[in-house]
Structures are given as structure tokens and as C-alpha cells.
Amino acid sequence: MKITVIGYWGGYPGPDGATSAYLLEEEDVKVLLDCGSGAVSKLQKYIETADLDALILTHYHHDHVADVGVLQYSRVVDMNLERSTRPLKIYGHTGDPEGFQRLGKEPYAIAEAYDPAGVLTIGPFTFTFQETSHPAVCYAIKVESSVSGKSFVYTGDTTYNKKLVPLMKGSELLIAEASFYDGQEAEKYGHMTSSEAARLAAAGEVEKLLLSHLPHFGEHKDLVTEAEKHFSGEVALAYEGLENEIK
């Protein structure tokens, strides 16, 4: 299973960047987790839009869904040019009915509701969910490969929340938001600091922590230094094009 970082900024994209978006690939199946601002432009460096099988969304804040409409248009073009015969499946939750309704553009993009208490299967991937602590209804996602049996967890947006720990058990990687530096008031805004992300990774006993949803201030390398004080595994910063292979 390969995970490629497409966008990693929080709030809005930095110059020539994109906000939250992560590409999963296994056995020719390609799934995008979140589709923030600038994501579709960046995605095309790695795959053709016509080859994308599905999009799964954690929640409907703009920095996670801003390019959903753009992705819908890409499938309109791809199907009309006969580069694809399949509508794009876009999966979201119904905790925000208006947000969910915007996901579909039939017959080119089909909105599908995932059951947060159930399991979603797409090709070799299984997805399970846990609600986070955030102003908008948001779900962390665990992704497991039936090929390798390996898994990783993506927090979406959240404050420090111990309810996420059981979801993380047995996973090799945690992609965690780190919107603030140690000591700042992250909880007030529904987010985590670097040290809180690290404490979550330590409690979940993962092997590697990837810090993402990064702030537009400070020195990002300090996020790693702060996280390493609370987590003994590998800590890395997300950047566009970063690949994580889980075998």
C-alpha cells in the first residue's frame, strides 16, 4: 500500500501548494482521502484523473473539500472524452446533510454515504471510522490493506481525543494534524499541537508519525523537535510528493 501526500497545508494552500489530500494505491486501485484547495492540480502529477476510483472525505470544511467540484468536472470531461466509463464515487458522512448533498453530480459523480459505525470496502482497502473532536462533524479514518494486512490512520481534524487510540492500535503509521506548536491554544480552534499529535501516536503504539495540516507560521522543523519529546518512533513532516510504502 502506497500513500502519497498531495496536499498538507491547513486552512489554505501555501504558494504552489494544496491543503489536505492523500492518494492511496494498491493493486491498481486508487483512492483519494480528502480533496482540499489545489488538490486536483497537484494530483495530476501522480495519476490521471480518469484513473481515480473513489474519494473519501473526513468532513466538509473548505480546506478538505474545496476541490470536490473541480474533481467532479474532471470526471465530466473524462467521461465525455471516453477516457473513463465510470462515474466517480465520492464517499462522505450524512452528519452534515447539506455538505453531503454537494458531493454528487450525476451521472459523473455519485455521492455515497459511509456508515461511521460500519466498514467500507473499496478493492483491497477497508476503511473504518471514529468521530473526532472538531467544530464540524469529522471522522478519523483507518485504512487497512487486504494484500498486506497492514494499516494506517488519518486523523482528519481533531483536538487531542483518547477515543482515537483504539482505532490506531496495530497500525504502522499515523497521519496526524499538527496545526499548532507546543503550548499554543489548539483546542480552542478544534485542532492539535505537535506534542498532542505525538502523545496520540505514543498511546496508539504506531511505528511512525507523519505531521500534516501544517500551520502558516513558525518553523515547521520545530514541530518535529517538539513531537520527538513525546514519541519514541519516527517523526516526519508531510510535504507534497512524500511517499509512504506500507508492506
Which one, of 152, 145, 64, lies nearest residue 102 by Cα?
64
- DSSP character at residue 241: T
Which one, of 174, 173, 176, lies nearest residue 156 by Cα?
176
Instruction: Tell how many helices (H) and how many strands (E) occur in the chain.
Output: 7, 14
Would you give per-residue pLDDT tens digits along the chain (247 residues)?
999 999 999 999 999 999 999 999 999 999 999 999 999 999 999 999 999 999 999 999 999 999 999 999 999 999 999 999 999 999 999 999 999 999 999 999 999 999 999 999 999 999 999 999 999 999 999 999 999 999 999 999 999 999 999 999 999 999 999 999 999 999 999 999 999 999 999 999 999 999 999 999 999 999 999 999 999 999 999 999 999 999 8
Q: For the chain, how many residues are written?
A: 247
**CATH node for 2-245:** 3.60.15.10
Rounded CA-CA distance 38/21 in Å is 9
Tracing cell 480518469 back to the chain, one arrives at 50
- At 247 the pLDDT is 86
Rounded CA-CA distance 66/42 in Å is 13
Q: Dig out the grid coordinates for 163 from the structure.
A: 477515543
Distance (Å) of CA 90 to CA 72, 104, 105, 196, 231: 9, 7, 10, 31, 35
Q: How many CB atoms lie within 10 A of CB 205?
A: 13
- Mapping DSSP onto H, E and C, the string for 5-70 reads EEECECCCCCCCCCECEEEEEECCEEEEECCCCCHHHHHCCCCCHHHCCEEECCCCCHHHHCCHHH
Q: Which residues contact 28 (CB under 8 A, 6 or more apart)?
A: none
